[in-house]
């Protein structure tokens, strides 16, 4: 019974906290497929107000992780990619072969 009370109390506290905290809602894209050009898609023209309605690439990562998160993330991916290049290529080839063999 205590568990139910704790869960209910937690929910109530979360609801109270939410009412007092401003909430921002964004549509987010973790990367810009049009880079180095700015993100532009016909479906968002006239419907979305960047950056008030959506965040793309560095805007998104810097929003959730703080300033300069995106460059640090890219640097980390680059380092990991170099360290695991052989294993990754081997795995990609294996997956591609399995997919091709399944047709």
Cα-based distances in Å from 31 to 37, 61, 93: 12, 9, 25
Average pLDDT in the 52-63 region? 88
Diameter of the chain measured on Cα atoms: 57
Identify the pLDDT of residue 45: 59
Strand runs labelled E in the chain: 27-29, 54-56
In this model, does residue 15 exceed pLDDT 80? no
Position 51 pLDDT exceeds 70: no
Q: Distance between CA atoms of 98 and 44, rounded to whole angstroms?
A: 38
Spatial separation of the C-alpha atoms in residues 60 and 54, rounded to whole Å: 8
- The pLDDT assigned to 18 comes to 73
This prediction's pTM: 0.58
Listed by start position, the domains of the chain span 24-101
Residues 60/29, Cβ–Cβ less than 8 Å: yes
Least confident range from 3-7, 26-30, 49-53, 55-59: namely 3-7
Q: What's the CA gap between 39 and 33, in Å, rounded?
A: 7
With tokens 């960047």, the residue in question is 50
């Amino acid at each position: 019974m205590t568990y139910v009370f704790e869960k209910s109390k937690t929910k109530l506290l979360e609801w109270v906290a939410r009412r007092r905290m401003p909430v921002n809602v964004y549509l987010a894209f973790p990367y810009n497929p049009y880079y180095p050009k700015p993100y532009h898609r016909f479906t968002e023209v006239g419907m979305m107000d960047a950056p008030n309605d959506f965040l793309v690439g560095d805007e998104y990562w810097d929003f959730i992780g703080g300033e300069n998160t995106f460059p640090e993330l890219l640097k980390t991916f680059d380092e990991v990619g170099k360290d695991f290049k052989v294993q990754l290529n081997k795995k990609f080839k294996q997956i591609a072969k399995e997919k091709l063999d399944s047709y």
